Amino acid sequence: MLVGIICAVLASIAFGIGPVFTKELLAGGMDVFGIMLYPRISTLIATGIVIIIRKTSLKVTKTQMWQLVLFCGVFNGLTALLLVSSYNYLPLGIATMFHFIYPVIVMVGMIAFYKERVSVKKIIAAVLAVSGLSLILDLSGKMSLLGVALALGSGVAYAVYVIANRESSYQKLPVIVLIFYSSLINLILFAIVNIASGGLIIPTTLWEWLMITANGLISGLFAFLMMIIAIRRIGASNAAITNMLEPITALIAGVIIFNEKLNLSAILGCILVILAITLMTLNKKRNNIKEAK
C-alpha cells in the first residue's frame, strides 16, 4: 500500500513539474513545435531500450495502428501543442487548471456516446468545475482569452484521448508499447510540421538539451510508469485521487519558480476545480466497488 501511494505521489509531482521545463524552453526562445519534437526523442529511446531488454512484441493490428495514429498521435500531440502554446499567454498554474476541465468533458462524452449513467455527484462535480473556471477566468482583460481557449482546447483533446484509451482496440496493449508508439508517431508528426513551417530549429546550448531530455524522461516516461505501478498497487481510484497533486504542483511551481501572481478569486476557483475532480474520482471509486460486488 505504501509503495503504491509513494509511486502515485511521485507521478503527480513529475506530471506537475513537467511544464516547468517547457516554460523554461519557451523563455529561452525555442519555438513550440521544437519543444514538442525533441522530448519525444528521449522518451522513444528510453522505451525502446525497455522493449529490447524485455523482448516485448511491437506487433499490432491494422485497426490498432490507425487508432494509435489518430488518438495517441494526433489527439495526444494536439493536447501537448495547445497546452504548451497556452503557457505563452497564461501563468503555468492557471493554464494547468483550465486543462483539468478534461474529466468533466470525459464524463459528458461517456454519457453522450456510451450511455454512461448520470449520478447526482457527477452533476455536482460538473457545476463545481464550471464555477471554478468562471472564478479563474478574468474577463476584465487581464487574462488572455486566447490563452484560455488554448488551455481549454488541450483539455478537450486530452478528453478524446482518454475516452479512446478506454474504448479503442489498442487498450489492452502493454503500457510500454503504447508509450513507444505514441512517442514515435508524435515524433514523426512534429518533425513534418517543423519542416513544413520552415525547418528544424536545433537547440544550441547544453541547458536546452538538458531541459528537453528531462521533459521527455520525467513527464513523458517516469510519471506515466509511476502512475501505472500505483494503479496496480492501490487501484485506479486511489491513484487518481492522489493525482490531484498534479495541478497543485504546477500551481505552486508557477508561483515559486516564475513568480506568478494569484488573486483570491483564482485561488478559490482552483479549489473548486480540484473539488470537482476529486468528487468525480470518488464517484468512480464507489461505482467500481458496486461493480465488484
Reading the chain (293 residues) residue by residue, the pLDDT tens digits are 667 778 877 887 887 888 788 888 887 778 787 888 888 888 899 899 989 999 999 999 999 999 999 998 889 889 888 988 898 888 877 887 788 777 778 878 888 887 777 677 767 877 787 787 777 766 556 778 899 999 999 989 988 888 887 778 887 888 888 889 988 998 998 888 888 877 667 787 888 888 888 888 888 788 877 876 776 676 544 555 556 667 777 777 878 887 877 778 878 887 887 787 677 666 655 555 444 44
Please list, residue by residue across 35-64, b when 16 or more beta carbons sit within 10 angstroms of its beta carbon and e when fewer do. bbbbbbebbbebbeebbeeeeeeeebeeeb
pTM value is: 0.77
Other beta carbons within 10 angstroms of residue 169's beta carbon come to 16
Into how many domains does the chain fold?
A: 1
Is 52 within a domain?
A: yes
Task: Give the C-alpha separation, 293 to 243, whole Å.
Answer: 26
Is 259 within a domain?
A: yes
Domain residue limits at 200? 30-292
Is 23 within a domain?
A: no
Is 117 within a domain?
A: yes
Give the cell for residue 1.
500500500
The dihedral over CA atoms of 147, 184, 242, 8, expressed in degrees to the nearest 10, equals: -150
